[in-house]
Structure 1
């Protein structure tokens, strides 16, 4: 099927665009927080996901 690779490519482009937006708005610490959140959600580790979410929240409210 041709549709699956096209959807995968669109997903990758959206994720990379979101990463660039976070880095531009929140700097390197925003990328670290996004990484912690993603890894925590993927591994089902609530501590890691919560830490990433709290850091992102603090960075967003500080601006």
Structure 2
């Protein structure tokens, strides 16, 4: 199994992503509102993924691990 992608996300009051960092060895330098772990490569490449996308990818990975 490969290393998971770590995703840190901030949103505005409408739930829209305002900033994001993602990577396999990512260490944030400031606080973020949300943290996700996923194996979905779209977490690295998508420029228009939503908060719900990250939640879904993480949930799918969790369910597939069982």
Band of TM-score, shorter chain = 0.3 to 0.5
Please report the TM-score for the alignment, with normalisation by the length of structure 2: 0.33
Please report the TM-score for the alignment, with normalisation by the length of structure 1: 0.35
Q: Name the larger-Rg structure.
A: 1
Which structure carries more strand by proportion?
2
Which structure is higher in RCO with an 8 Å CA cutoff and minimum separation 6? 2
Which structure carries more helix by proportion?
1
